[in-house]
């Protein structure tokens, strides 16, 4: 994808990388919430769930309006291909299914600052932990939908939903970890008329 071996190296990411980077961040956020800010369990749980929901919204917005934006300039087209187009052209490339830390860490810092501005320093840690948890669920589910069997229940439905986004309905089904916001914004996929194999 890159002429530079240096850039090419950093565009490949092992699927466990987000876990290694962000589980300690979640741990520290919980430590802050309980040991430093002395928040009640109920408050932490509520803020955590709010953070998970905020991630699902961010996931939808990024996937629909950033990852599927169609730029006009040559530079824009190249950047878009690097950001998401390569994934649609090579959906089973196992080393390009999770977000590289060079992109996810700056985004995490931006979202942390936004949470600080909205919630303040005492309520941000559990909400941010929830957002990070939502992000990890997204990255792990995204990897799983492309590389695991997922033959039953909700897992099969999520896999089918995402595969239809790749192989037929690219302008619908932007939610990977949940179709919630597709229902809210009218981009939910139509159910197939026949059973797929």
- How much of the chain is in helix, strand and coil states, percent to nearest 5? 70, 0, 30
Q: How confident is the model at residue 197 (pLDDT cuts 50, 70, 90)?
A: very low
Average per-residue pLDDT in the chain?
83
pTM exceeding the 0.95 threshold for the entire prediction = no
- Quick one: tokens of 62? 């990024």
Contact 127, 51 (CB under 8 A): yes
Angstrom distance (rounded) from CA 61 to CA 78: 21
Domain boundaries, the chain: 5-139
Angstrom distance (rounded) from CA 121 to CA 141: 30
User: What's the pLDDT tens digit per position in 60-93?
Assistant: 998 888 876 677 777 666 665 665 555 555 556 6
- Mean pLDDT in residue range 8-35: 88
Query: Is the model's pLDDT at 126 over the cut of 60?
Result: yes
- Mean pLDDT in residue range 111-134: 98
Angle at 124 between CA 46 and CA 118, to 5 degrees: 100
Helices 41-61 and 124-147, axial angle in degrees (round to 10) = 50
Query: Is the model's pLDDT at 27 over the cut of 80?
Result: yes
- Quick one: tokens of 145? 């939908």
Query: What phi and psi, each to the nearest 5 degrees, are found at residue 21?
Result: -80, -45
In sequence order, which residues have a C-beta less than 8 Å from that of residue 25 and are 6 or more positions away? 108, 129, 132
Contact 189, 172 (CB under 8 A): yes
Kindly calculate the radius of gyration of the chain based on its CA atoms and give it in whole angstroms: 18
Contact 90, 96 (CB under 8 A): yes
Which one is predicted more confidently, 190 or 16?
A: 16
Angstrom distance (rounded) from CA 106 to CA 46: 26
Contact 43, 121 (CB under 8 A): no
User: What's the pLDDT tens digit per position in 141-182?
Assistant: 888 888 788 888 888 888 888 888 877 777 888 888 889 999
């Amino acid at each position: 994808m890159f002429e530079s071996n240096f850039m090419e190296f950093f565009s490949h990411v092992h699927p466990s990388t987000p876990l290694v980077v962000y589980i300690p961040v979640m741990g520290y956020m919980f430590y802050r919430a309980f040991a430093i800010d002395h928040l009640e369990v109920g408050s932490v749980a509520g803020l955590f769930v709010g953070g998970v929901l905020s991630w699902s919204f961010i996931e939808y917005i990024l996937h629909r309006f950033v990852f599927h934006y169609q730029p006009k300039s040559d530079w824009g087209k190249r950047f878009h291909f690097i950001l998401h187009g390569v994934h649609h052209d090579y959906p089973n490339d196992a080393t390009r299914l999770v977000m590289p830390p060079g992109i996810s860490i700056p985004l995490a810092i931006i979202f942390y600052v936004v949470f600080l501005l909205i919630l303040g320093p005492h309520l941000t840690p559990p909400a941010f932990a929830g957002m990070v948890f939502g992000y990890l669920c997204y990255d792990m589910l995204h990897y799983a939908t492309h590389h695991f069997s997922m033959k039953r229940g909700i897992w099969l439905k999520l896999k089918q939903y995402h595969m239809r986004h790749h192989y037929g309905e690219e302008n619908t089904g932007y939610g990977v970890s949940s179709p919630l916001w597709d229902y809210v914004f009218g981009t939910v996929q139509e159910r197939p008329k026949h059973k797929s194999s």
